[in-house]
Structure 1
Amino acid sequence: MKTAEIARRYLDFFEKNGHTIVPSASLVTDDPALLFTVAGMVPFIPYLSGDVPAPYPRAADNQKCIRTNDIEEVGKTPRHGTFFQMLGNWSFGDYFKEGAIRFAWELLTSAEEDGGLGFDPNDLWVTVYEEDDEAHDLWLRLTDLPAERIQRLGKDTNYWSTGLPGPAGPCSEIFFDRGPAYGIDGGPATDDDRYVEIWNLVFMQYEITDVRSKYDFTIVGELPNKNIDTGMGLERIAFIKQGVDNMYETDQVRPVLDAAVELSGKTYGANHEDDVRFRVVADHVRSALMLLADGVTPSNEGRGYILRRLMRRVIRAMRLLGVDGPTFATLFAVSRDAMKEAYPVVESDWERISQYALAEEATFLRTLAAGSENLDASIAAAKEAGVTRIGGAEAFLLHDTYGFPIDLTLEIAEEAGLSVDRDAFDTLMQEQRARAKADARSRKRQLADTSVYRDYRAQGETVFTGYTDLETSSRVLGVLVDGLSVDRATTGQIAEVILAETALYAESGGQVADKGVIVGPGFELEVLDVQKPVPGLISHTVEVTTGEVAVGEPATTVVDAVNRRAAQQAHSATHLVHAALRDTLGKSATQAGSLNRAGYLRFDFAWGQALSADTRTEIEEIANNAVRDNLEVTTRIMGLDEAKALGAMALFGEKYGDTVRVVDIGGPWSRELCAGTHVASSAEVGLINLVGESSVGASNRRVEALVGLDAFRELAAERAIVSQLTASLKTPRDQLPTRIAELAASLKAAEKKIAQFEAKALGDRLPALVAGASAEGPYRVVAESLGTASSADDVRTLALQVRDRLGSEAAVVALVAAIDGRPVVIVTTNEAARAAGAKAGVLAKAAAAALGGGGGGRDDIAQGGGADAAALPAALASVKDALGAA
């Protein structure tokens, strides 16, 4: 029974029994305490805790989860996986223990032909909390389980709580007995791998307080609404129903394992350490695929770090399996095909997913290449010096400078018969962490140290006059150079200038700072930036272009009027786009950040999927209709509570005082809290041209637009391109898409014919290649460059044909060619050559090293590649040298 079929049966069963089927939440949870959705209950916490009324009395789901706390155990046990799917049924004050037990037993033991999962009751065991007589008696009454297969266990295994005050309760777990071949008799109480937990029924019935530990607390009493929270591991059910030994061999995971086997040329089941590596690859590739699909991208912190760690563990495992070159293109595509039935997004979003995966692999392979070269030098130096250990400082340098993992250093050193001074390495790592923490604390103090502005702020708030004036006369309150207060700044210096009043807008609310100048008696300052270092105070970062500016002197701020007008257009356009989004997508499409500068806006909003071309057009049309309608733009100052009562929307990330500024465009159609500058009427925006829409996370999207003259120039440029195409192709504008599609199809057909001709040309060289075989020791060898070729498959086919023509005596064929400018080498051997010691994988690896790349494969056929096509002759020489050394 396929994994997707098990999930379908589960959801169908509970839907027939009155449950609302809830789609899986994202792996990226909204819970600030969690990086990922680590359990099936996470999306339901607000309902289970009673903070939010549940929208349904009972529900069921198949929730995707990521958990990496046991990452080192992956591959070593039959059930540890980083990505897993948790089937759950939930009751929010509806049915309780009897219903949960009845549903679980019926689904598990009903015949497959009746829609059940078809488990033999004789294979099932149950555990209950040792004091939960009610659950124990229900299992006896509702099922045909004998009393000896219902075991009572303690709080450490059969009591659920969060470890915090709140809901808690006993649980009952269902186990599958895999049989005596897998361990000792005695039931789940033995804690043996023979008994696999497949379903956990949590009876959330008590409220606890005075929590001293996860299992030591005071029960206050029963909850007014008792809840059911169950979880059945889909992967565990799958490996049992599919008759395999572990989750890595199920239909959604095994294809990746098999692909890794093929890439490595090794056999699964022949070596325990290799088997663990194969399972790590299979698990981590799927986990990385699903994280990428939910919008996580590789980085050095948070969720991105976990993803990066998973991907790099795959690369390391493949390297230890003998594959030095890139593998993600194959492995991720295989995982995509295995998962797309259950999660179509992995196929529909494949281009973006694969782009991130391949880029991360390429980066880390470069890291490994640089680190390996240095490690090889250290190993050679150690052997030459007659020592058996690589110093901790050398291992730390590899880690710190090249990002080379310490465990890989240990593996490679061990293969070379050396050890590593791990204690010294760990000491250096601890010292580095201590320095990093101290540096972070120092930088935090520096960023938080605003005491230099204290005296200026004590003189009152900076008065901003820029809503009505583009020039304002004031006086210099302070001058700062390099963060220190000084009495003056002279020509050429960069300084901060504090004024009592200013017409220059300080960056905030997504609107960038104004451009302009500050002038006074004998000085002129070019304004580089305007910020609010502390609330109520505006600081101008300037370059003194003429004279010197001193504290106490008069100064006039002059705003660049053209830049300000364009910035106002962009800011007002942002409000229009926000309103258009909400009109089109609904009120949940709320702002999550923005950037407005002259002629350009960027707007982030809460939304979980890409916008279609039609939707983008509709949003753009609504916003431009608002421009056409010349809507009045008004601003009002009022209390925060009053503004909220009027429906004014707050800007993402902004903090507001008791008094706020409300900007209306067209009355309530667009009403937001905003301190930015705006046009007087929507017609002044001019034109809005949406030029981009993209993802900025699992639940946020981003639109970008050009505004005003910038929007017009972009459209004019596109019009010019269309005119050029219509002239060049002699095709009317409305027929261009069809004409271009026809040309693309013709080009594809021509390329196919060319490839066929090139393949035939290669095949015509077969007799000459066979005739040119030379004797190299015990082997007949064909080592030739083909020049250029269309594909590696063509080169591989020809190599196999040459090998077969050489007969039964020991033969080695090595063919190299440049494919799209990149070199490739194919090496193949016959049975007699392999018996004499020639291994294609070893020879391909040697040739690829000369090409500046990597390679490997099976003993009979292998492939390598690199970056230096000029080194093809050297690659062939490397094959002959390796044969001589064999």
Structure 2
Amino acid sequence: METAEIRRRWLTFFEAKGHTVVPSAPLIHDDPTLLFVNAGMVPFKPYFTGQESAPWDRATSVQKCVRTGDIDEVGKTSRHGTFFQMCGNFSFGDYFKADAIRFAWELLTTSQDHGGYGLDPERLWATVYRDDDEAERLWLELTDIPAERIVRRGEKDNYWHMGVPGPGGPCSEIFYDRGPEYGREGGPEVDEDRYMEVWNLVFMQFDLAAVRAKDDFDVAGPLPAQSVDTGLGLERLASILQGVDNMYEIDEVYPVLEKAAEMTGKSYGATSGHTAEDSDPDDVHLRVVADHVRSSLMLIGDGVTPGNEGRGYVLRRMLRRAVRAMRLLGYDEPALPHLLPVSVERMRQSYPELGTGFERIAQIAYAEEEAFRRTLAQGTTILDSAVERTKSQGGDTLAGDQAFALHDTYGFPIDLTLEMAAEQGLSVDREGFVRLMDEQRQRAKADARAKKGGHVGSEVWKELRALGETDWRAYTELSTSGRVVGLVRDGELVEELEPGQSGQLVLDRTSFYAESGGQIADSGVIVADGSRLDVRDVQRPVKGLVVHTVDVAEGPIRLGAEASAEVDPQWRVDACQAHSGTHVVHAALRQVLGPSALQSGSYNKPGYLRLDFAWNQGLSADARAEIEHVANLAVRDDLPVSAAWMSLPEAREQGALALFGETYGEEVRVVEIGGPWSRELCGGTHVRHSSQIGALTLTGESSVGSGVRRLEAYVGMNALGYLATERALVAELSSIVKAPAPELPEKVGEMVARLRDAERELEKLRREQVAASAGSLTDQATDVSGVTFVGQHVAGGAGGDVRQMVLDTRGRLGEERPVVVALTGDGGGKPVIVVATNESARARGVKAGSLVRVAAQTLGGGGGGKDDLAQGGGSDAGQVQAALSAVERELASTVTGATGSGS
């Protein structure tokens, strides 16, 4: 049975049982404690925690999930993957344990001909929490499972909570016996490879207080309403129903693995056993490719772009791990153009939007692979230098901090470092590398704990939200009257805020726009009898609650006071211009570049906008000019601007564009400018006609990551001010060069050409002077133990000049006898030392790199290089003569030592 069919049967079954089918939420979620949705219940979390009332009594979904905590274990075991799909059925105060167990047993054991999954009941085991007598009794009463296949387990295995105070309760897990070829007999307590967990039924019935660990928490009491949260691993069930050993071999993953094996000439599974743990390294690499290509496809599909932090870093790491794995398998050419299309063909059966958006997805992925290939080339050069330094110092182990720097700074994988260092006869200080990696992970965990701790503070907002939803009037009014229903200072609820204090204020009604969708919050004041508060930020910490951050200018302001929320009207006008301008630029961008140039992020404030979009190359001047022209034509044409609320499916049917990374509810707001020309899901404030945007001028275009470009623009009076400044600049340049504006390009071009000619003439004279100086340097040669030695300081000489003089001088002295040339310079503000040797000197054991290190140490710095030519520097220019003397002494010692050892 194909994975898409397993998914379809799940939704059909539970819909027939009265559940509302809820589409999968995007992998990016508005939970500050999560990088990605990592469990099927995440989109339902506000309903379980009581932050919001559930719109249904029972629901079902197949949720996209990504977990990256064990990314380094992917491919090594049959249990670790990054992207997976979690089938869930949920009860919000409706049914409880009995129906949850009954539904699970029915769906799993009903024959495939009758719409079920057709699992053999004799192979199913159940676990229950050690004190949950009720669950065990229900399993015995409602199913055919015998008592000997019901196992009681403790908190670590069979108790669920979110890691923070809130709902929790015992759970019951269902396991499938894959047979003796997979491990030992005796149930899940004995072997969880043979007995694979497929479904977890969580019975939320308690309110947990302090949560210290998975198995260490306090129960405050029962929940007001008992609920159910279940999760079945779609990939795990697919591996069972398709008769394969693990998730890497199911129909949605294996075709990518098979393609990678074909490209690399490898034979997957040739030496493997039934579990991934039995695999050879090639099989591990193939599974990494299959998993990470699919995960990257899904992440980019939901709006993530590669970057250096957060979600973008996770995506970048997975793409690069896939490319690296292909390299380790012997494939050095671009691989993603061959692999990604295979993955999208499998995944589009369940997620059709991947097919329609594939051009954008491919642009981002392929650009990241190309960037990584350049990184590999750069990292290889740096690694070679590190290896050379290690060898020159007599070492045989590359330092752990150097390996870590390659990994952390340049994205150079540690196993590639190990492989390439071994090729050059070096080992790597793996312990040092691991120690630094552990330190980095501990810092990351500390950050995560800090975020989770911040989440606990949301109890204040939950308490205020429980008083009722904010009556939000930002779309229709600039001024509203309301009552102060909440005051917060330093995270605590207070009765009043005094003059000079800052805090958060909640009104039961407000006209202030709360920051969202790239638009910053409104500015203005809140006034009450004897009080005046400056509003400097407005946010929605929980859905339905608008919170103003205020500075009390006059006061105090007290809880329960009647107040008026007054938005700065000019601020709102300018903000509307910027947000509508963003939509216009996006539509113009797609008209000029094509539909794949989709917005991936935006930011707008009064008078200014920026828009990030998927594109893998810089825009030409003509393209930028055309985008600006199309946008201003839309402004000139006075296109009508309208907004309407509708269901998400209706909006998609109308072709409304959604901003990647945003979370949308069941009802969405669609903003149109000129009808279908610009139709987007948007919660921002807008002008009524496009002409009200005013002037629009693009001010910049740049790269903000692999496959992502950024446009910036001014609108309205800010655009006119920008153009006025440019006009004044042009007038000033015209006055300076004494030419009218139309002739400026030609006039400035002529001046630049003359300047370059003069610079070339100066460079020619400088080279001639260097050559002449080199000629005179040969006259300064002395004999040091049979070696012709030139050691001089070149006053004002920069690094490049000194290097050229060293090479010229060595060439003039020839190869008849050993030659060493050492010159110092100080032209760059800091001393530099360059040393060169000829072949005869090197035959006597003289190495330029060794001599440079001696000199650089005297200068208070460092250096190195090859045996024939090396360069170094330092910070103490007063020691240049001492450095040259040190080189001469080291030369004499080297030659004398070599002669002595040979006699």
Structure 1 length normalisation: TM-score?
0.54
Tell me the residue number matched to 2:728. Answer: 720
Residues 588 and 800 of structure 1: CA distance in aligned 2, closer, same or farther (over 3 Å): closer
Residue of 666, 669, 673 corresponding to 2:677: 669
Structure 1: which amino acid aligns with 2:698? L
Residue of 299, 311, 314 corresponding to 1:302: 314
Q: Is 2:592 the counterpart of 1:584? A: yes
Tell me the residue number matched to 1:209. Answer: 241
Aligned counterparts of 2:497 and 2:862: Cα–Cα separation in 1: 59
Residues 567 and 430 of structure 1: CA distance in aligned 2, closer, same or farther (over 3 Å): closer
Contact 2:648 2:668 survives alignment (8 Å)? yes
Q: Is 2:753 the counterpart of 1:753? A: no
Contact 1:632 1:682 survives alignment (8 Å)? yes
Q: How does 1:234-313 map to 2 (within 5 A)?
A: 301-302=313-314, 304=316
Residues 776 and 560 of structure 1: CA distance in aligned 2, closer, same or farther (over 3 Å): farther
Structure 1: which amino acid aligns with 2:853? K
Structure 1 unmatched runs, 5+: 1-29, 36-67, 72-154, 157-163, 165-205, 238-293, 313-344, 380-391, 411-418
Superposed CA deviations along residues 360-405 of structure 1, whole A, max 9, x for unmatched, are 989999x999x99xxx9xx9xxxxxxxxxxxx99x999x999x999
Q: Percent identity?
A: 45
Aligned counterparts of 1:596 and 1:791: Cα–Cα separation in 2: 47
Residues 426 and 575 of structure 1: CA distance in aligned 2, closer, same or farther (over 3 Å): closer
Residue of 604, 611, 619 corresponding to 1:596: 604
Residues 511 and 231 of structure 1: CA distance in aligned 2, closer, same or farther (over 3 Å): closer
Superposed CA deviations along residues 480-539 of structure 1, whole A, max 9, x for unmatched, are 122221222223332111111112110011110111222222332222211000111101
Aligned counterparts of 1:355 and 1:751: Cα–Cα separation in 2: 37
Q: Matched residue of 1:693: which SS?
A: strand
Aligned counterparts of 2:412 and 2:258: Cα–Cα separation in 1: 44
Tell me the residue number matched to 1:568. Answer: 576
Tell me the residue number matched to 1:81. Answer: none
Structure 1: which amino acid aligns with 2:314? G
Tell me the residue number matched to 1:684. Answer: 692
Q: Is 2:707 the counterpart of 1:707? A: no
**1:568 to partner: Cα distance:** 1.0
Tell me the residue number matched to 1:769. Answer: 777
Contact 2:504 2:547 survives alignment (8 Å)? yes
Q: How does 1:477-876 map to 2 (within 5 A)?
A: 477-776=485-784, 778-789=786-797, 792=800, 795-802=803-810, 804-805=812-813, 808-818=816-826, 823-850=831-858, 854-865=862-873, 872-873=880-881, 875-876=883-884
Superposed CA deviations along residues 747-802 of structure 1, whole A, max 9, x for unmatched, are 22222221121121122223432232345455443211223457726743554435
Aligned counterparts of 2:618 and 2:432: Cα–Cα separation in 1: 51
Q: Is 2:479 the counterpart of 1:447? A: no
Structure 2: which amino acid aligns with 1:516? G
**1:409 to partner: Cα distance:** 14
Contact 1:298 1:356 survives alignment (8 Å)? no
Contact 1:604 1:701 survives alignment (8 Å)? yes
Structure 2 unmatched runs, 5+: 1-25, 29-34, 36-70, 75-180, 183-195, 197-237, 267-303, 325-362, 395-399, 419-426, 895-903
Contact 1:664 1:672 survives alignment (8 Å)? yes
Tell me the residue number matched to 2:344. Answer: none
Contact 1:570 1:685 survives alignment (8 Å)? yes
Contact 1:803 1:813 survives alignment (8 Å)? no
Structure 2: which amino acid aligns with 1:634? S
**How many pairs align?**
572
Superposed CA deviations along residues 101-129 of structure 1, whole A, max 9, x for unmatched, are xxxxxxxxxxxxxxxxxxxxxxxxxxxxx
Contact 1:803 1:812 survives alignment (8 Å)? no
Q: How does 1:306-321 map to 2 (within 5 A)?
A: none
Superposed CA deviations along residues 605-664 of structure 1, whole A, max 9, x for unmatched, are 233333222121111111111111222222333444444443333333333333333322
Contact 2:802 2:834 survives alignment (8 Å)? no
Aligned counterparts of 2:249 and 2:764: Cα–Cα separation in 1: 76
Q: Matched residue of 1:696: which SS?
A: strand
Residues 358 and 298 of structure 1: CA distance in aligned 2, closer, same or farther (over 3 Å): farther
**1:854 to partner: Cα distance:** 4.4
Contact 1:492 1:544 survives alignment (8 Å)? yes
Aligned counterparts of 1:487 and 1:831: Cα–Cα separation in 2: 86
**1:856 to partner: Cα distance:** 2.8
Contact 1:299 1:308 survives alignment (8 Å)? no
Q: Matched residue of 2:540: which SS?
A: strand
Q: Matched residue of 1:609: which SS?
A: coil
Q: Matched residue of 1:701: which SS?
A: strand
Tell me the residue number matched to 2:214. Answer: none
Residues 736 and 486 of structure 1: CA distance in aligned 2, closer, same or farther (over 3 Å): same
Q: Matched residue of 1:468: which SS?
A: coil
Q: Matched residue of 2:617: which SS?
A: coil
Residues 822 and 725 of structure 1: CA distance in aligned 2, closer, same or farther (over 3 Å): farther
Contact 2:820 2:838 survives alignment (8 Å)? yes
Residues 870 and 462 of structure 1: CA distance in aligned 2, closer, same or farther (over 3 Å): farther
Aligned counterparts of 2:824 and 2:376: Cα–Cα separation in 1: 25
Contact 2:496 2:558 survives alignment (8 Å)? yes
Aligned counterparts of 2:571 and 2:647: Cα–Cα separation in 1: 31
Residues 296 and 650 of structure 1: CA distance in aligned 2, closer, same or farther (over 3 Å): closer
Aligned counterparts of 2:524 and 2:247: Cα–Cα separation in 1: 65
Contact 1:792 1:819 survives alignment (8 Å)? no
**1:688 to partner: Cα distance:** 0.9
Q: How does 1:140-155 map to 2 (within 5 A)?
A: none
Aligned counterparts of 1:567 and 1:218: Cα–Cα separation in 2: 50
Structure 2: which amino acid aligns with 1:549? I
Superposed CA deviations along residues 554-603 of structure 1, whole A, max 9, x for unmatched, are 22222122222211110010111112122222333222221111111111
Aligned counterparts of 2:681 and 2:417: Cα–Cα separation in 1: 56
**1:434 to partner: Cα distance:** 6.3
Structure 2: which amino acid aligns with 1:213? D
Contact 2:809 2:821 survives alignment (8 Å)? no
Aligned counterparts of 1:299 and 1:723: Cα–Cα separation in 2: 44
Aligned counterparts of 1:492 and 1:781: Cα–Cα separation in 2: 76
Structure 2: which amino acid aligns with 1:582? R
Aligned counterparts of 2:853 and 2:455: Cα–Cα separation in 1: 52
Residues 584 and 877 of structure 1: CA distance in aligned 2, closer, same or farther (over 3 Å): same
Q: Matched residue of 1:742: which SS?
A: helix
Q: Matched residue of 2:727: which SS?
A: helix
**1:208 to partner: Cα distance:** 7.7
**1:445 to partner: Cα distance:** 4.7
Residues 508 and 688 of structure 1: CA distance in aligned 2, closer, same or farther (over 3 Å): same
Structure 2: which amino acid aligns with 1:686? G
Residues 432 and 654 of structure 1: CA distance in aligned 2, closer, same or farther (over 3 Å): closer
Higher mean displacement: 566-575 or 657-666:
657-666
